[in-house]
């Protein structure tokens, strides 16, 4: 452990922190048409910027205020003598740490011209807490002060060249049980054509959307399939404190022509809203989930925005909610204008069906959240969607588990691709950290046993220890604790860099961020970042 030899001087203002130029020699210039995701760095107008989340065509010089997508790191060093290079290895950006716990702050420093490194300064909230003059450059800081802190490293070479690393934001919390934010939503869709109301775990839900009510081109409504079932659902859910909405639309074979027609005129919208409000009040529903799949950018998007604004006024006047199911990301997302964000209580992001293999990866969830929040959707109004079914076999999760109990703890059986318990837990934690809730399609696909995906979501949201173990237990020769899972750390270098050509081969396991991952095939990617890794367990 390195000593905090400058901490006292820094705290009392006996040393100053120099303003230094950053080494931007390895950075590409920002391009308006290029997509950038969280952590990507660019050079723009002689300054260095880091993207916080998904962004495209948002000028870093304009969108770099604290609440916007770009973070300005500083001014670039003019072309001349090369500067040293320093990069933070730990801690992980946006990580949480218990107060009074030790936090390893580690950096890698080098120089493109092999000028010797004099020392590395470590800073917390712009105050130097320690200086290290020997590699490996690191210090252990005791987590102090609840809330967010900015971690940074600065390097000085023997010719007094200086450079700064990017910033890492960490949060110090009171204990290891993260209390879910007030208003965190757990939303489930429930179809008219399958599933029993008696099987729903109402105590683990905040909202249920009954699916689907279909409109006609003139704004009238088609008869609802299985109306008696919806009435039973409303009675059971509301007695348990769960809100019930009617989901309007759905995939419907890709036919959204009725929406396109009635939404294109003021009279058509008025007729639809009048009929829908009468339906909501007649059946004592709590709100509406608009599931128009999908308005296209252009005139369709403008009509959708008008429809949502006018419907929102009517629903809010009656104390009802308005939500919408939206595409995960991409071109069709442009059919939902930013003005709609103000009219809805939240958006349900359908972060699944990306493809047939690994159609709902953890990375796809990250990208979906980044896309919508990058356009201005608030964290509180972001609800992450997860699937309770597989592709391309289109099997319910409960069917997969019935075929093989081990399927509960993985994301594929070799033919089907889905989200098992570990991935659902990880996505729920992501939603706790980065969104306002989590949603699923659909509830009848779940099991009612201990391997229930809804139970897994609810336990994470409440900070409850998992009741179903996915740690390899079940056989006499298998470990019962995640910390006992066998890995061979000598085969790997610390992730995520994989220097010197190191990689993982299929079936090999590694520890990363307090979890064990197994490689599905040859990979050099960060464990858990894509489909090349399977989550095994967390300890």
Residues 283-322: tens digit of each pLDDT: 999 999 999 999 999 999 999 999 999 999 999 999 999 9
Reduced to 3 states (helix: H, G, I; strand: E, B; else coil), residue 455 is: helix
**Alpha-carbon gap, residue 37 to 52, rounded angstroms:** 7
Helices (H), 353-452: 362-374, 397-403, 421-434
For residue 112, what pLDDT band results from cuts at 50, 70 and 90?
A: confident
169 pLDDT tier (thresholds 50, 70, 90): confident
Give yes or no for a contact between 88 and 68, defined as CB atoms under 8 angstroms apart: no
Among residues 103, 107, 129, 102, the alpha carbon closest in space to that of 5 is found at 129
With 0-12 / 13-18 / 19 or more C-beta atoms within 10 angstroms meaning exposed / middle / buried, residue 225 is middle
Q: Which tops the pLDDT comparison, 324 or 532?
A: 324
Please give the average per-residue pLDDT across 8-37, as a whole number. Answer: 63
176 confidence band (pLDDT: 50, 70, 90): very low
- 208 sits in which H/E element: strand 207-213
188 pLDDT higher than 80: yes
Mean pLDDT on 370-389: 95
349, 369 contact by CB (below 8 A):
yes
pLDDT of 9: 36
35 pLDDT above the threshold of 70: yes
Position 12 pLDDT exceeds 60: no
Structure tokens at 197: 């109301």
Q: Which neighbouring-strand residues pair with 50? A: 41, 71
Question: What pLDDT is attached to residue 383?
Answer: 97
Give the pair of three-digit tokens for residue 525: 């990617």
Helix (H, G, I), strand (E, B) or coil at 481: coil
Domains of the chain (ranges plus CATH)? 7-173 (2.60.40.10), 185-462 (3.20.20.80), 482-538 (2.10.10.20)
Higher pLDDT, 528 or 281: 281
Sign of CA dihedral 231, 235, 237, 241: positive
| Cα separation, 247 vs 441, whole angstroms | 12
Least confident of 17-26, 103-112, 282-291, 307-316: 17-26
Highest mean pLDDT among 24-33, 75-84, 107-116, 255-264: 255-264
Q: Are 268 and 218 within 8 A, CB to CB? A: yes
Beta bridge partners of 189: 209
Which whole number is the average pLDDT over 53-70?
Answer: 83
Q: 192-196 contacts: CB < 8 A, separation 24 or more?
A: 192/224, 192/225, 192/226, 192/229, 192/230, 193/225, 193/226, 194/444, 195/442, 195/443, 195/444, 196/444
Q: How far apart are CA 56 and CA 195, in angstroms?
A: 42
| Average pLDDT across the chain, whole number | 84
pLDDT at 498: 44
27 φ, ψ (degrees, to nearest 5): -95, 145
224 pLDDT above the threshold of 50: yes
pLDDT of residue 99: 77
- 82-86, 231-235, 400-404: least confident range: 82-86
Q: How far apart are CA 77 and CA 303, in angstroms?
A: 49
In this prediction, residue 394 carries a pLDDT of 94
Beta-strand relationship, 185-191 and 509-512: unpaired
pLDDT score of 4 = 41
Torsion of CA 480, 484, 488, 492, to 10 degrees: 110
- pLDDT score of 469: 83
Distance of alpha carbon 185 from its chain centroid, rounded? 15
Give 238-258 pLDDT, tens digit per residue: 999 999 999 999 999 999 999
- Looking at residue 318, its pLDDT comes to 94
Task: Assign 531 a pLDDT band (cuts: 50, 70, 90).
Answer: low
Q: Which of 285-294, 370-379, 464-473, 492-501 has the weakest average pLDDT?
A: 492-501
Alpha helix stretches (DSSP H) within 297-420: 299-317, 340-343, 362-374, 397-403
Q: Which residues of 241-271 are buried (b: 16+ CB within 10 A; e: fewer)?
A: ebbbbbbbbbebeeebebbbbbbbeeebbeb
Average pLDDT over residues 499-508: 60
Question: Is the model's pLDDT at 534 over the cut of 90?
Answer: no
Is residue 102 within a helix (H) or strand (E), and if so which, with residue range?
Answer: strand 102-110
Return the higher-pLDDT residue of 97 and 398.
398
Confidence (pLDDT) at 175: 55
- What integer pLDDT is reported at residue 64 of this predicted model? 85
Element (H, E) at 462: helix 453-462
Say which DSSP state 179 is in: P
Least confident of 67-76, 223-232, 300-309: 67-76
Cα–Cα distance for residue pair 288/291, rounded to 1 Å: 9
């Amino acid at each position: 452990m390195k000593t905090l030899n400058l901490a006292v001087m820094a705290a009392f203002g006996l040393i100053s922190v120099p303003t230094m130029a950053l080494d931007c020699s390895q950075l590409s210039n920002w391009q308006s048409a290029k997509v950038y995701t969280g952590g990507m760095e660019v050079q723009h107008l002689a300054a260095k910027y880091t993207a916080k989340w998904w962004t495209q065509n948002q000028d870093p010089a304009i969108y770099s205020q604290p609440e916007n997508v770009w973070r300005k790191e500083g001014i670039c060093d003019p072309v001349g003598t090369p500067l040293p290079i320093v990069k933070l290895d730990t801690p992980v950006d946006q990580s949480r740490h218990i107060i009074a716990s030790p936090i390893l702050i580690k950096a890698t420093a080098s120089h493109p011209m092999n000028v010797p490194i004099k020392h590395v300064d470590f800073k917390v909230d712009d105050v130097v807490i320690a200086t290290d003059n020997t590699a490996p450059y690191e210090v252990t800081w005791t987590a102090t002060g609840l809330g967010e802190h900015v971690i940074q490293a600065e390097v000085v070479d023997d010719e007094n060249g200086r450079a700064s690393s990017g910033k890492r934001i960490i949060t110090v919390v009171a204990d290891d049980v993260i209390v879910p934010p007030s208003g965190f939503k757990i939303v489930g869709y429930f179809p008219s054509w399958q599933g029993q109301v008696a099987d729903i775990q109402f105590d683990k839900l905040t909202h249920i959307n009954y699916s689907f009510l279909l409109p006609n081109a003139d704004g009238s409504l088609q008869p609802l399939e299985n109306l008696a079932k919806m009435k039973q659902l409303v009675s059971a859910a509301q007695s348990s404190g769960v809100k019930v909405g009617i989901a309007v639309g759905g995939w419907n074979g890709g036919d959204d022509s009725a929406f396109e027609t009635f939404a294109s005129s003021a009279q058509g919208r008025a007729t639809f809203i009048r009929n829908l409000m009468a339906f909501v009040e007649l059946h004592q529903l709590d709100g509406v989930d608009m599931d128009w799949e999908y308005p296209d950018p252009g005139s369709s998007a403008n009509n959708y925005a008008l429809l949502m604004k006018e419907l929102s006024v009517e629903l809010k006047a009656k104390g009802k909610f308005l939500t919408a199911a939206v595409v995960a990301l991409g071109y069709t997302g442009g059919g939902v204008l930013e003005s709609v964000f103000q009219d809805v209580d939240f958006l349900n992001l359908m972060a699944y069906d990306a493809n047939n293999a690994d159609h709902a990866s953890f990375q796809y969830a990250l990208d979906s959240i980044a896309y919508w929040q990058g356009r201005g959707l608030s964290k509180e109004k972001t609800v992450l969607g997860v699937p309770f079914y597989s592709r391309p076999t289109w099997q319910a999760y409960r069917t997969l588990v019935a075929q093989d109990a081990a399927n509960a703890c993985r994301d594929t059986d070799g033919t089907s691709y889905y989200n098992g318990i570990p991935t659902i837990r990880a996505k729920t934690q992501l939603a706790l950290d980065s969104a306002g809730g989590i949603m699923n399609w659909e509830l009848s696909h779940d099991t009612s046993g201990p391997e229930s995906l809804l139970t897994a979501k609810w336990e994470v949201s409440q900070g409850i220890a998992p009741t179903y173990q996915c740690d390899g237990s079940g056989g006499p020769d298998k470990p019962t604790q995640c910390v006992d899972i066998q890995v061979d750390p000598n085969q790997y270098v610390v992730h995520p860099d994989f220097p010197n050509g190191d990689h993982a081969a299929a079936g090999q396991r590694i520890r990363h961020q307090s979890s064990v991952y197994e490689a599905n095939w040859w990979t050099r990617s960060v464990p858990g970042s894509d489909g090349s890794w399977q989550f095994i367990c967390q300890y």
